[in-house]
Copies of this chain bind each other. A is one copy, B any other.
Amino acid sequence: MLAPTTGRGLSRAGRLAAAIGLALLTLMTVDGVYAAAAVAINAALALCLAAMIAEWSYRVWVAIRVRRASVYAASFAGIADAAGALAVPIAFAVGVGAQAAWLCAVVWVLKLVPGISGLRQLRRVMVLESASLISVAVIFLTVLFVASVAEFALEHEAQPAAFSSLPATFWWAVTTLTTTGYGDVVPVTPLGRVVGALVMISGLGVFGLWTGILATGFAAETRRENFLKTWEAVSRVPFFAALGPSAIAGVTNMLRTIDLPPRVTIIKKGQPGDCMYFIASGEVEVDLPGKKVRLGPGAFFGEMALLGNNVRSANITTTTISRLLILDLVDFRVLMARHPDLAATIDAEARRRAAENS
């Protein structure tokens, strides 16, 4: 926990400055706009940079005070902060032109990205599937090299400008193997076209492998994340406590977790219903005719639409930040079939509620 309470607001301000700075950077390169407002854009960019430097200085100071300077400096956030604060000044110091120096502000993108949890997943997938991905990269590079040599031998004489050297032919090969196909360099000899066709078809194959590996890995990772998050929540719902630990693992695979802010309508009266909900934390309000009932952690709702008629009978809204577990109709039926005792509990509660409200 690096940041004290002020750190969080600072962090948000830093992100805002980074986003504004990147937008200004884009505007700066448009000649017409820059000609019209050069001073304003330069001033605003300088302000953004000042914000970066201020944030970094503050964080370094805090880190030194709590004696974690080396941890902070080696962390992703620390590197991003340092790069954001130093890249442009260093570029100016080195003496490159003003525009080129400001372009170094592209490193501010680092401050915007790490907030996305999906990137952590992607990194895990990359690590776990690294053996397969390296194999595909080797195939890619081998095809690239062999095809380039063949095409160079076949096309160099016919098109000495386009296929001037092997590195120039690599450009053709990578354009073709990824099926991008700019069309700036195109084989014209019959044999050169046969090689080109083989490269395109290999491209499909390489692409297929790549897609398959990433897709399989990402799917497994998503399942894993969901399981971890749901397991936490399931263990807090007393309804499932009666199940043995082995059955809980099965139930966890059936549930999905969602986090909702306050005042979100989860269920609308009169709509078709195909799932029920368990409250892991938070609270919801059921809008019954003439009264409002509140349900807290451990309670469930929405089960009536799964037990016969398919239409929701009341509006249900969150009153606070809530974590809910969703059980789909499909899985509801499988679960009730496997655990008749749970079915009885739900049935009894549904009947009690129906009696109360009629």
**Which positions in A face B, CB cutoff 8 Å?**
22, 25-26, 28-31, 100, 103, 106, 109, 113, 116-119, 121-122, 128, 131-132, 134-136, 138-140, 142, 145-146, 149-150, 152-153, 164-167, 170-171, 174-176, 178-184, 186, 190, 193, 196-197, 200-201, 203-216, 218-219, 222, 224, 227-228, 231, 244-246, 248-249, 256, 274, 328-330, 333-334, 336-338
Contacts and interface: CB of A to CB of B under 8 A. Distances in A.
A118 B136 contact: yes
Nearest to A198: B174
B219 A216 contact: yes
A211 B122 CA distance: 15
A270 B268 CA distance: 46
A258 to B, nearest CB: 10
B100 A153 contact: yes
Given A116-B134, A182-B183, 6 more contacts: A28-B166, A117-B131, A119-B138, A140-B201, A180-B203, A215-B216
A346 B245 CA distance: 16
Contacts of A153: 100, 103
How many chain copies does the complex carry?
Answer: 4
Given A166-B25, A244-B337, A119 B106 contact: no
A98 to B, nearest CB: 13
A7 to B, nearest CB: 19
A28 B175 CA distance: 23
Contacts of A30: 165-167
A149 B106 contact: yes
B179 A29 contact: no
Nearest to A96: B153
Given A167-B26, A186-B184, A224-B330, A135 B119 contact: yes
A328 B246 CA distance: 16
Nearest to A328: B224
Contact of A178 (B100, B203, B336): B203
Contact of A180 (B132, B142, B176, B219): B176
A217 to B, nearest CB: 8
Contact of A26 (B134, B166, B178, B218): B166
Given A30-B166, A31-B164, A246-B337, A200 B218 contact: no
